[in-house]
């Protein structure tokens, strides 16, 4: 099974993001995008990839431990950006900000514990974001730059991060389907 650990985004914020995309995608011109469905929006903390079934219980134990040692906090979805860089654009994303870098610390904690279980350690620095589109071809980079500048301070709202979720990603011709395996609520 193909697994990842993520933070769910509240439905009302997913609706705002979906409305934003619908109202503004034309500003990106003739660049080709594959947009993420609103029901698939999430903040990935750790992509585990193909995982043997016998490891799932151990993963659940670890995530139970992480969540029981975590406290709720607020995060804000704000701004637009791209990965990996303006010369080679593959992903259009919305930023996620929180006080005291709690998302980064949470992602690093999960990464370290999964590494101890045998998963590959992340080599890149964690950047809190929601992928809203994957870019298939860039035909007009200036339109993308203008889009990012125009919406760099736009806020989609603040929400309470009170849990992490283990998902299975089922790849289908019409796009991935994400199935919740288990949700882990924080201690308070």
Q: Residue 147 has which token pair?
A: 């889009």
For 124-135, write each residue's pLDDT tens digit.
Answer: 999 999 999 999
Mean residue pLDDT across the chain: 95
Choice among 38, 46, 113, 129 that is catalytic: 129
CATH of the domain at 153: 3.90.1140.10
pTM for the model: 0.94
Choice among 42, 82, 92, 131 that is catalytic: 42
Res 13: pLDDT: 97
- When pLDDT is cut at 50, 70 and 90, the band that residue 45 belongs to is very high
pLDDT at 188 over 90: no
Number of domains the chain contains: 1
Answer yes or no: 42 catalytic.
yes
Provide the residue range defining the domain that includes 176. Answer: 2-185
Instruction: Tell me how many degrees the CA angle 163-107-180 measures, rounded to the nearest 5.
Output: 45
């Amino acid at each position: 099974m193909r697994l990842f650990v993520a933070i769910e985004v509240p439905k009302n914020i997913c609706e705002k993001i979906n409305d934003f995309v619908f109202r503004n995608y034309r500003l990106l011109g003739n660049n080709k995008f594959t947009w993420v469905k609103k029901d698939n929006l999430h903040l990935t903390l750790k992509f585990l990839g193909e995982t043997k079934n016998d490891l799932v219980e151990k993963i659940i134990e670890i995530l139970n431990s992480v969540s029981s040692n975590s406290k709720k906090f607020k995060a804000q979805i704000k701004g637009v950006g791209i990965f990996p860089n303006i010369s080679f654009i593959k992903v259009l994303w919305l930023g996620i900000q929180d006080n005291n870098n709690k998302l980064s610390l949470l992602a690093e904690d999960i990464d370290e514990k999964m590494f101890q279980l045998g998963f590959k350690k992340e080599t890149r620095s964690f950047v809190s974001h929601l992928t809203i589109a994957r870019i298939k071809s860039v035909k007009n980079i200036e339109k993308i730059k203008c889009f990012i500048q125009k919406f760099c301070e736009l806020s989609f709202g603040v929400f309470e991060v009170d849990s992490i979720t283990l998902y299975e990603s089922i790849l289908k011709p019409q796009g991935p389907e994400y199935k919740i395996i288990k949700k882990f609520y924080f201690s308070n």
